[in-house]
Amino acid sequence: MDTYTAVKNRIFGLLEEKGMAIHKLAIESAVPPSTIKNILYGKSKNPGIVTLKMLCEGFGITIIEFFNAKEFENLEQEIK
């Protein structure tokens, strides 16, 4: 799995786990809904670390908890 797909899948998983909609995450994280949708639906394939940290804050988790997930265990090499 590539890193973008892992990040996207992790966000989708957390939305489901926390019972949150994109709009609720946007309010809790102070990240515009359009930015979240761009990440989730492929328009933005390289979200910044500050944006990811803000999303984590909206989910009520640390960035370490975000990346400590099965999605990130076997990532493909980015440079080919």
- Which residue has tokens 């994109």? 22
Taking the C-alpha atoms of residue 62 and residue 66, their distance in angstroms, rounded to an integer, is 6
pLDDT given for residue 33 in this prediction: 98
pLDDT score recorded for residue 78: 84
2, HSE (Cβ side, Cα atoms, 13 Å): 8
**Whether CATH 1.10.260.40 fits 3-65:** yes
Over the chain (80 residues), the average pLDDT of each successive run of 10 is 95 98 98 97 94 98 97 88
Return the structure tokens found at 46. 């390289």
Q: What is the DSSP string of 57-72?
A: HHHT--HHHHHSSGGG
pLDDT at residue 80, rounded to an integer = 76
Query: Would you state the pLDDT for residue 37?
Result: 97
Count of Cβ atoms closer than 10 Å to residue 52 Cβ:
19
